[in-house]
Structure formats: C-alpha cells, structure tokens
Amino acid sequence: MFQVNIGMIGGGTVGSGVFHHLQNNRALLQSRLGLKISLSRVAVKALDEPRPYPIPRSVMSTDWTAVVNDPGIQVIIELVGGTTLARTMILTALRLGKPVITANKALLFEHGPELFAAARQFGTNLYYEASVAGGIPIIKALREGFVGNRITHLYGIVNGTCNYILTRMKLEGLDFAPTLKEAQRLGYAEADPSLDIGGSDSEHKIGILASLAHGFWVAPGEMHVEGIRSIGRADMEFAAKLGYTIKLLGVVKLVSGDKGGKRTVIQASVYPALIPNAHVLASVNYVYNAVLVRGDVVGDTLFYGRGAGKDATASAVLSDIADAALDLKHGSRGRIPPFVARGPAGRVLPIREVVSRYYLRLDVVDKPGTLAKISSILAALRIGISSVIQPEGHEGESVPLILMCHDAPNAAMEAALAKIGRLPVVKSTPVMLRVEDFG
C-alpha cells in the first residue's frame, strides 16, 4: 500500500494535538484514503517542554533542518508560528519539492505570493486550511465547494478572543477592561492581547479569504482595520435598545467588476459593527467563529464552529494531511490553483469610498440647540439621521446622545465627526460604529 511519511516542525499546543489525533484516528484516515500515513519525526524547541498531549521522545528532535532535509520525509507540517524562521522553514521544504501544511495565517498574509510562487516553481503545493477559523473548513469550501460561484459577499466573526469579550459585555452588562482581564485569566486572551483586540488577527484571516474569493492578493496595508477597545458598556446597551448586537466583523464585498474582463473592486475591512439581532451572526457567541459566504449561484451559506485550539486546529491539519497524501499518491500538484486572477489585477476600495450606515454616540451638554448644531453639520455633508436616542437629564449636565444615520460615504462621516468633535457642547471623543444589514 502507498505510504506517506510526514515530518512536523512544532510540538506545542497545536502540534501535540495533531500528533495525538493522528495516532487515535490513523486507522480511520487510512481506510478512507486507501494509503498509509506515518508521522515519523517532530522538531521541537525543547524535548522536555510541557504539552497538552505527549509526544514520544523517540520521534522528537531539536533540529528542524534534519527533519526537513530527511530524504525519507515527503510532507512537512509547519506549526511554529511567526513570520521569520517559519518562512525559512517553509521555503526550505518547498525548494526540496516537498508539500507543506501550515496554520500560519500571519505568514501567509504577509508573504503569501512568495510562498505560493515557490510552490509552483518547485512543483509542489502549500496547504493552509488551518490558517483561518480553526476547524471550520472554509478554505476548502471557497476553493472547491464554490468553484462555480462568484463570491459577492463574505462576512466573518473570526477572532474568538474578541467575540468572547463582546459576548460577555452584552449578556452580563460588563465594561471592556474587566472583561479583557477575565478573558486573560481564563486563557482566552494573551498576556499581550493587542493582536486580537486591535483587529490584526482578523485582518490576516479575512485578507486570506478575500484573496481566495476574488483571485488577487490583498496585500498588508490595503485593508481598513479597527479593533474593539473603543466599545463601552453604553454602546452595548444602546445597540440592544435599537435591536442590534455588536460584533467584530470581517467584511468582503464585491463592489464592481468580475465579469467581462473588467477590473474587480472589493471592499475588504475589519471593524466592530452593529448586526441586527434577527440575523444568524448575532447569535454567534463566546469563542465560536462563523463565516457567512454569499455566492451568485448558491446564495447564503454559513460555516460555524470553534476557531482555535489544539483540537479544532488539528482537525483542519488532518484534512490537509489527507489532501497532501492523495495528491502525492496520484501525482497531482493540486487540483485547483489557490489564487486565480480573472482579468486585470483587482483592487481594494479605500475605506473613505465605502458607503455604510452608522451608529454615533456623543457625550453632549444637555441644553437647547445641541441637537440642532449636530444635525446641521450632518445635513451639510448630506448625512441623514434615521433615529435619535437622548436619555433625559438635567439641563447643563453631560448626557449621551445616540444617532442612527443613513447610508453615506465614510469620508463624509469622517468629516462630520471632525467638526462635531470640535463643538463646545461635545464633551468627549465621538464613538462611531458601522451598521451592517447584510443587504
């Protein structure tokens, strides 16, 4: 029977999970694939480091080059993370003609074109199902399941840390800072949580999905990214009164092109947004992830599950092991190329040109004429107000003022906020969130 020998670099949380579940489900996987699989060598930083699942000392090494260069190893799994040494590891394996499986979203986002070009040049393949949304098979779905669709919309809740924080803020009426500390205590947030709560982690994942969906590489710096630090308990409460839930949302929309050789233009953004409570994404809570994909043929589809962790990520790596093994058995470099341009190179629409609805929270002095001053600024920039919430206060005191605004370009709203923020009656920096109706 055909046998595939695998070497893995990284034996920590995810790596030990891959080793454990491959041992447990090896017979099942082999019976389904009709071939043998052997994970025979694992490169680690230290032989005695703690691991969620044990790895036999006999298969471990502290020399990753010995694993990659072993002529008996046919497939390499990279699970070390980072964008420097991991890049060297992957390129070394690809130059030897060995397929590589990775969960490294940051590396793919920053160096994807180089890595995929190397795979093509040396006649091999790069597999990356585990790089986005953990155990949710979203990469395979976009690349293969929707191969006959134009992807018109994609929305993702893809960071479990942010979703956990926002869920608890909503359901328990908590403020941001203590909720973050509790997430850190429970292990849902890192000691330095900036990559998550600042939006960069979601940017990496949504950038990969946008590139895959539209056939051109969305480069670092092209996406508009906002995190969740500015969201307070008051925003959760007012959003609920208005019938919305706040989520950190990755948004990819086809704006124009993608037919008849025209240049594809897309929106690709990450920001906190108000989602109608009736929409299915509003009920995605705690550490769970979800991705909604809308195709021109299939319509709306939803993918839901755990987006991180040793077991969910291991499931995605096992899927890539199966694909890599079958491709080797049948002499295929990959059934469907990862990124296929469909005409002139596409572009990402600058956020200033993106049209949205808006939620606006202001801290204002409660006195006659305050709302008139604010509404006149919005009117001058052709921004309509759809609803207003102003809790009763005492004249002269500071009170929240909540405005829901009609569709307008982001540039117009930015200009309005700059002017509104300079009004003497406005006592703190305005909070602006976009509203997504999934139209």
Which are the contacts of 81, defined by CB distance < 8 A and separation ≥ 6?
Answer: 10, 104, 106
Kind plus residue range of the DSSP H or E element containing 389: strand 385-389
Closest CA to 29 of 240, 294, 325, 245: 325
Distance of CA 10 to the CA centre of its chain: 23
Amino acid, single-letter form, for residue 192: D
Partners of 7 in beta bridges? 41, 76
Please give the positions annotated as active site: 205
Q: Please spell the DSSP secondary structure of 105-116, one letter per residue.
A: HHHHHHHHHHHH
Residue 76 CA: distances (Å) to CA of 7, 70, 88, 92, 155: 5, 10, 13, 10, 32
Kind plus residue range of the DSSP H or E element containing 94: helix 85-95
Strands 244-256 and 265-276: antiparallel
Give per-residue burial for 415-424: e unless 16+ CB within 10 Å, then b. bbbebbeebe
